């Protein structure tokens, strides 16, 4: 990562003069002069937690009073969030399985996978507490054998035992009673955990011309009991059940399209049969991914909030005008802006001192760029746009991010906080890599994130963050700031542990996401839990967050041992 080293060099060189202001517009100098970091930040923290408290008075506080108030409010909000996270670790996992003639290998895999799935989940995410249930469906022709239900239970051997009695039974046409099966799972089972997962597996679509052009359909007008995809799936949504599908044949493609129109995007796993051992592996992967994905979703956005929150988040993405395609750069206007970043602290003391991240340690530089007119994606907090640095040769592709809500305060302060988080993560990754290199471990690197201020197009100053664009690799989320490991990578979990030990229990860097290269992880958008609740924004869950989400979940692995990280006393919440 020559770019990161380059940044470091710059920062050292620049550390004597405060900033390279020669090309900096006077309006920015004035913005910076006006900015009272501490006060702006405290006000924003109070503002952001106000939704959770009726105490909204914010008049003429002294800075000390403001600090106390912000601290109390943040701690209150954190404690509420941590309770919600804890509840979201309780999971109902329901297999809704087509049990007709052709499904024999899949019935066997569902039975055989469950103990391994639960062992895996317990090993990787010990906080997750799953209950398992089953709803098998066949067709109207099968009469009393149309449905087979095993209600949720945490006695997993009983599940396996029950599955011995589930046998494939044929019937008189190709489509199956899919809607009846889904409806039974949704309405006849005792869903009660905060996180609800319905993993549907089948090779043929529901009845009706809407779902299939197969000739061999005894009910071409649709379900004889009057069920429709709309009423079944809307009921599922209102019960806050998350839908996942295991695909076996392309016969279900039309059904998936219709389902997506109703509930938005959902994950689809490849469960094509063949080799039974490979099929079992696919089942284990699909079921454990469904659990961790659902928990990461409910714990980060949905928990404790209104039941529609999770689905509305998935839908919001669709309703906003997003354009996933790279723009035609030649038609976009050229803009002049300024980028700003912090000098990397020289020591741990600098990193731990909130006052270090102040105007005097900022560097800025003028910047020539283009930005797409529509975002290509939206996360929980930010929109992301394609951007391009046009003065560099060759031009460099970038991602420009903007907060969904700027809040009432000065956005400059909020964007600088994002740069501060990235600077802290960068500092710690550099220290980690220094030790890891000797042990031949993969490197952990963070993208160089800077603040970008624009203002030449509409005269209205806008703030963003800007970072290099990651390319040619699948973007993955490895863990979340709620303590869920979504893709286990021992090096990354050891890095999280390292940040805790290196900072002497002051913070942990988590929410690791980005791409995985040959011998390197390239990450972006981390979160930091820190014992100081007045740093690192809303995703910092403080001292108790470190305890519950990191210490409560982390299992030291071989990389931790190789790095000689100290053993953590296990806390079971």
Does 560 participate in binding Zn ion (rule CB under 5 A)?
Answer: yes
Task: In whole angstroms, give the CA distance from residue 572 to residue 118.
Answer: 18
3-state secondary structure labels for all residues of 342-397: ECCCCCHHHHHCHHHCCHHHEEEEEEEEEECCCCCEECCCEEEEEEEECCCCCCEE
In angstroms, rounded to a whole number, what is the distance separating the alpha carbons of residues 31 and 412? 8
Q: Binding of Zn ion at residue 556 (CB under 5 A)?
A: yes
Taking a C-beta distance cutoff of 8 angstroms, is the pair 190, 84 a contact? no
The span of 173-181, 217-225, 529-537, 560-568 binding Zn ion (CB under 5 A) equals: 560-568
Beta bridge partners of residue 463, listed in sequence order: 453
| Complex with Zn ion: residue 100 or 553, whichever CB lies closer | 553
As measured in angstroms, the least distance from the Cβ of 494 to Zn ion is: 6
> Shortest distance, CB of residue 558 to Zn ion, whole angstroms?
10
Measured from each CB, the residue nearest to Zn ion is 560
Judged by CB under 5 A, the stretch of 24-32, 354-362, 419-427, 554-562 that binds Zn ion is: 554-562
Q: How far is the CB of 128 from Zn ion (least distance, A)?
A: 19
Indicate the residue among 470 and 556 with the shorter CB distance to Zn ion: 556
Q: Which is nearer to Zn ion, 359 or 561 (CB)?
A: 561
Other CB atoms within 10 A of residue 238 CB: 12
Minimum CB–partner distance for residue 567 and Zn ion (Å): 8
459 torsion bin: left (phi>0), alpha (psi -120 to 50), beta (else): left
Site for Zn ion in 242-261 (CB under 5 A): none
SS3 per-residue string spanning 246-315: EECCHHHHHHHHHHHHHHCCCCEEECCCCCHHHHHHHHHHHHHHHHHHHHHHHHHHHCCCCCCHHHHHHH
- Residue 372 binds Zn ion (CB under 5 A): no
d(Cα 558, Cα 554) in Å, to the nearest integer?
A: 13
Nearer to Zn ion, 280 or 496 (CB): 496
Pick the piece of the chain touching Zn ion (CB under 5 A) from 219-227, 238-246, 451-459, 495-503: 495-503
Q: Does 527 bind Zn ion (CB under 5 A)?
A: no
Cβ-based nearer residue to Zn ion, 279 or 560: 560
In the complex, the smallest distance separating the C-beta of residue 557 from Zn ion, rounded to whole angstroms, is 6
Distance of closest approach, residue 505 Cβ to Zn ion, in angstroms? 13
In this chain, which stretch among 196-204, 376-384, 492-500, 522-530 interacts with Zn ion, using CB under 5 A?
492-500
Binding of Zn ion by 497 (CB under 5 A): yes
Burial class (CB in 10 A: 0-12, 13-18, 19+), 424: buried
**CA distances from residue 240 to 99, 442, 552 in whole angstroms, order as listed:** 25, 39, 27
Total binding residues for Zn ion by CB under 5 A?
3
Instruction: Give whole-number Cα distances, 554 to 127, 425, 477, in Å.
Output: 10, 19, 17
Q: How far is the CB of 539 from Zn ion (least distance, A)?
A: 22
Q: Which is nearer to Zn ion, 115 or 556 (CB)?
A: 556
Binders of Zn ion among residues 375 to 414 (CB under 5 A) are: none
Q: Do the beta carbons of residue 507 and residue 529 sit within 8 Å?
A: yes
Residues 130-169 that bind Zn ion (CB under 5 A): none
**Site residues for Zn ion, window 294-313 (CB under 5 A)?**
none
C-beta of 527: minimal distance to Zn ion in Å?
19
DSSP 535: S
| Footprint on this chain of Zn ion (rule: CB under 5 A) | 497, 556, 560
């Amino acid at each position: 990562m020559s770019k990161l080293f380059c940044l470091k060099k710059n920062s050292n060189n620049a550390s004597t003069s405060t900033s390279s202001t020669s090309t900096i517009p006077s309006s920015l100098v004035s913005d910076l002069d006006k900015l009272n970091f501490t006060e702006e930040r405290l006000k924003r923290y109070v503002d952001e937690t106000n939704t959770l408290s009726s105490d909204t008075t914010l008049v003429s506080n002294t800075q000390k009073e403001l600090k106390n108030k912000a601290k109390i409010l943040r701690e209150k909000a954190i404690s509420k969030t941590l309770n919600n996270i804890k509840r979201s670790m309780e999971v109902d996992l329901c297999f809704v399985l087509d049990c007709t003639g052709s499904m024999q290998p899949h019935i066997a895999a569902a039975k055989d996978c469950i103990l391994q799935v639960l062992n895996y989940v317990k090993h990787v995410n010990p906080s997750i507490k799953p209950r398992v249930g089953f709803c098998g469906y066949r067709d109207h022709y099968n009469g009393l054998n149309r449905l087979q239900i095993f209600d949720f239970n945490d006695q997993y051997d009983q599940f396996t035992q029950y599955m011995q009695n589930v046998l494939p039974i044929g019937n008189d046409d190709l489509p199956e009673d899919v809607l009846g099966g889904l409806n039974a799972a949704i309405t006849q089972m005792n869903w009660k955990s905060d996180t609800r997962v319905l993993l549907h597996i089948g090779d043929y679509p529901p009845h009706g011309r809407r779902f299939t052009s197969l000739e061999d359909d005894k009910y071409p007008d649709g379900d004889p009991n009057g069920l429709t995809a709309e009423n079944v799936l809307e009921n599922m949504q209102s019960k806050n059940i998350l839908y996942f599908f295991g695909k076996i044949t392309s016969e279900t493609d039309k059904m998936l399209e219709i389902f997506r129109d109703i509930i938005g995007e959902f994950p689809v796993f490849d469960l094509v049969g063949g080799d039974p051992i490979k099929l079992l592996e696919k089942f284990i992967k699909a079921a454990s991914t469904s659990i961790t994905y659902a928990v990461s979703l409910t714990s980060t956005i949905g928990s404790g909030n209104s039941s529609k929150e999770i689905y509305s988040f998935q839908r919001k993405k669709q309703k906003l005008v997003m354009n996933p395609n790279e723009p035609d750069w030649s038609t976009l206007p050229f803009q002049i802006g300024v980028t700003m970043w912090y000098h990397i602290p020289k020591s741990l003391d600098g990193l731990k001192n909130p006052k270090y991240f102040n105007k005097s340690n900022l560097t800025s530089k003028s910047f020539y760029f283009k930005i797409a007119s529509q975002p290509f994606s939206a996360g929980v907090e930010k929109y992301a746009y394609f951007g391009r640095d046009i003065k560099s040769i060759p031009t460099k592709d970038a991602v420009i991010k903007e907060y969904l809500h700027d809040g009432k305060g000065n956005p400059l302060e909020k964007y600088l906080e994002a740069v501060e988080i990235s600077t802290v993560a960068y500092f710690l990754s550099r220290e980690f890599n220094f030790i890891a290199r000797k042990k031949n471990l993969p490197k952990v690197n963070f993208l160089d994130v800077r603040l970008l201020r624009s203002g030449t197009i509409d005269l209205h100053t806008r703030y963003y963050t800007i970072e290099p664009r990651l390319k040619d690799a699948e973007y993955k989320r490895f863990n979340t700031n709620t303590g869920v490991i979504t893709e286990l990578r021992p090096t990354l979990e050891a890095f999280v542990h390292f940040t805790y030990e290196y900072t002497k229990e002051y913070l942990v860097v988590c929410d690791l996401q980005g791409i995985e290269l040959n011998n390197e992880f390239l990450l972006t958008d981390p979160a930091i839990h820190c014992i100081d609740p007045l740093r690192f924004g809303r995703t910092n869950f403080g001292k108790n967050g470190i305890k519950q989400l990191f210490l409560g979940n982390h299992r030291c692995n071989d990389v931790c041992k190789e790095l000689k990280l100290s053993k953590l006393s296990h806390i079971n919440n």
